[in-house]
Amino acid sequence: MAAVATKSFWSAPDPDDPLSIALQPPPDESVEDRQARIRQQEDAARVSKEIDEEIALSKKAFERRKKAIKILLLGQAESGKSTTLKNFQLAFSPAHFQKERAAWKTIIQLNLIRNVKRLLEVLQEEYESSLQNSSASSIAKGKGVAGRSPSSPGVRFSTSPLTDNHRKIRMRLSALLPIEHELMSKLIPGGGTDTPGQPRDVCVRAGSGWKGILTALGTNTSTVSVQPVPQMPVKSAMKGSTNRPATGDTRNKDNPSAVLAACKDDITTLWEDQVVRAVLKRHNVRLQDMPGFFLNDAARVASLQYEPSDDDIVRARVRTLGVEEHHFTMESGALPGTEWYIYDVGGSRSCRQHWIPYFDDVQAIIFLAPLAFNLVLEEDPKVNRLEDSITLWREVCTNTLLAKTTLILFLNKMDILQATLASGLRVTKYVPSYGDQPNDVPSVVKYFRDKFRGYHKRLSPKARPFYWHETSVIDTRSTAAILVGVREGILRAHLQSVNVI
């Protein structure tokens, strides 16, 4: 009976096909065995169909990607690559940009907290150095007990202009530090915040889904109830210090907005305080030059109702580690619906070996080169930033994998160049070959642009046009106008390369 049933299900084996013979069920197969075998065969058929569908999908994605326009953003760390990407999204894919707003809010809050942290560090250094100075002067004056006040034995005195009130604000603001730690550990699980030798920026690992994590975090924290923060019985001599979180209060650490709001007045008071400004100047610290500087916007960013503006998002600083792929569909322009992939890479030296796999797959490279003639690399302070940019540019121009790639140079951070030259810094002091040429923006730009152009011409394996723009990519309006031209140029070159025009 069982054998008859098996025979009707299973077709007769092909006597010339050993596999077909091997796969035949045994002639004495029981009903249960047969049912189990049929179930297995059905499962196998389902899995096989799923695999086929997946292959078809990946094939489609591969075809789509092949037809898409791919751009690689290159340049040293802090050159403005990620900022350029944000400008692209803002200009051509605003719906996508809008979706990421919640994630950026947390980054901006984190940027502000890091600004405050740096400010507190400088104040701490000031206290320590003033105590050391007072100790040294006591010894010099033969007071016997170094750094002790003669009138109150056992109490160390300080020569610092910072008052007791500064100290109290400092202590209250230290409530922000656990928030920073918490957010950073969510962004880079297992990664420390300020490991020695690590950059001071907020870092993210490419492909870690950090925007999703932060968006979820923003959504969750907005539903957390805001706990009233206890007031400290401190009579502030400084204007505006009214909301005071208790030092080390971590009850709200899952809700950065609440803690920041409680610290808002203290942050603005400290930042606007003239004594604090003088201390910063004496320590040679310009917080305004920190990437992701938001202290001037503290009253707004630290408020409970804070919603980031487009400009805030563009100015937010996140250090890229690895290579981030951004896929979006043009929502407007000459060919709406065109698919674009933009690869945003980490620019620090340890990240650069990850660039190469992308070289043979992109139509265009936007190379960001700030004319930072007076600055050095964070990862190697012996190397001048502009010299590093030129070395990188030469390598890109020479690379045979990139022989057919359109190279577009952005001489970025023009606003900073303008401010640097206006402050009286002379180019020739840092670049002796500049000689006695005029120390103004047009002459400096021409000098360095010609250098970039010369290497492009001499080192390119095949002749190709030299495209360049002067940019300040934190200025979204002027950047949008430049990007329209860049997009049309890349599109035209792409269509020519596939013989459409």
Ligand X SMILES: Nc1nc2c(ncn2[C@@H]2O[C@H](COP(=O)(O)OP(=O)(O)OP(=O)(O)O)[C@@H](O)[C@H]2O)c(=O)[nH]1
The residues that touch ligand X, with contacts defined as CB under 6 A, are 75, 77-83, 291-292, 315, 317, 319-320, 346-348, 368, 412-413, 415-416, 472-474
The least distance separating ligand X from the CB of residue 143, rounded to whole angstroms, comes to 48
Structure tokens at 199: 């950059």
Residue type (1 letter), 493: A
The least distance separating ligand X from the CB of residue 23, rounded to whole angstroms, comes to 56
- Report if residue 412 touches Mg ion, rule: CB under 5 A: no
**Residue closer to ligand X (CB basis): 279 or 474:** 474
- Report if residue 6 touches Mg ion, rule: CB under 5 A: no
Q: How far apart are CA 66 and CA 284, in angstroms?
A: 51
Residue 300, burial from CB neighbour count under 10 angstroms (0-12, 13-18, 19+)? middle
Residues in region 313-332 near Mg ion by CB under 5 A: 320
The stretch among 79-87, 185-193, 216-224, 410-418 that binds Mg ion (CB under 5 A) is: 79-87
Q: Measuring CA to CA, which residue among 488, 473, 462 is closest to residue 367?
A: 473
Structure tokens at 438: 């005029």
**Residue closer to Mg ion (CB basis): 273 or 324:** 324
> What is the secondary structure of 223-264 as a DSSP string?
HSPPPPPPPP----SSTT----PPTT--TTTT-HHHHHHHHH
**Residue closer to ligand X (CB basis): 142 or 442:** 442
The least distance separating ligand X from the CB of residue 156, rounded to whole angstroms, comes to 39
- Find all residues with CB under 8 Å of 289, minimum gap 6, and list them: none
**Residue closer to ligand X (CB basis): 73 or 491:** 73
The least distance separating Mg ion from the CB of residue 314, rounded to whole angstroms, comes to 13
Q: Residues, the chain, total?
A: 501
CB 68 within 8 A of CB 341: yes
The least distance separating ligand X from the CB of residue 437, rounded to whole angstroms, comes to 24
Torsions phi, psi for 408 (to 5 deg): -120, 120
The least distance separating ligand X from the CB of residue 113, rounded to whole angstroms, comes to 15
- Report if residue 363 touches Mg ion, rule: CB under 5 A: no
**Residue closer to ligand X (CB basis): 254 or 311:** 311
**Residue closer to ligand X (CB basis): 120 or 368:** 368
Residue 413 partner contact from Mg ion, ligand X, none using kind-dependent CB cut-offs of 5 to 8 Å: ligand X
The least distance separating Mg ion from the CB of residue 210, rounded to whole angstroms, comes to 12
Residue 412 partner contact from ligand X, Mg ion, none using kind-dependent CB cut-offs of 5 to 8 Å: ligand X
Q: Which residue has the tokens 């970025």?
A: 412
Residue 292 partner contact from Mg ion, ligand X, none using kind-dependent CB cut-offs of 5 to 8 Å: ligand X
The least distance separating ligand X from the CB of residue 78, rounded to whole angstroms, comes to 4
Q: How far apart are CA 413 and CA 315, in angstroms?
A: 12
**Residue closer to ligand X (CB basis): 439 or 478:** 478
The least distance separating Mg ion from the CB of residue 341, rounded to whole angstroms, comes to 16
Q: How far apart are CA 230 and CA 134, in angstroms?
A: 35
Residues 268-297 as x/- pattern, contact with Mg ion by CB under 5 A: ------------------------------
The stretch among 76-84, 286-294, 390-398, 438-446 that binds Mg ion (CB under 5 A) is: 76-84
Dihedral over Cα of 260, 265, 268, 271: its sign: negative
Residue 476 partner contact from ligand X, Mg ion, none using kind-dependent CB cut-offs of 5 to 8 Å: none
SS3 373: coil
292 sits in the region (left: phi over 0; alpha: psi -120 to 50; else beta) called left
The least distance separating Mg ion from the CB of residue 242, rounded to whole angstroms, comes to 38
Residue 416 partner contact from ligand X, Mg ion, none using kind-dependent CB cut-offs of 5 to 8 Å: ligand X
Residue 50: CB atoms within 10 Å = 10
The least distance separating Mg ion from the CB of residue 179, rounded to whole angstroms, comes to 23
Structure tokens at 95: 């719906």
**Residue closer to ligand X (CB basis): 253 or 315:** 315
**Residue closer to Mg ion (CB basis): 320 or 389:** 320
- Report if residue 106 touches Mg ion, rule: CB under 5 A: no
**Residue closer to Mg ion (CB basis): 206 or 238:** 206
**Residue closer to Mg ion (CB basis): 29 or 78:** 78
- Report if residue 82 touches Mg ion, rule: CB under 5 A: yes
- Report if residue 84 touches Mg ion, rule: CB under 5 A: no
- Report if residue 257 touches Mg ion, rule: CB under 5 A: no
Torsions phi, psi for 195 (to 5 deg): -60, 140
The Cα-based distances of 60 to 53, 56, 67, 479 in angstroms read 10, 6, 11, 34
- Find all residues with CB under 8 Å of 79, minimum gap 6, and list them: 347, 368, 369, 370, 389, 412, 413
The Cα-based distances of 261 to 106, 109, 219, 228, 402 in angstroms read 13, 11, 17, 11, 50
Give me the residues that bind Mg ion (CB under 5 A), please. 81-82, 320
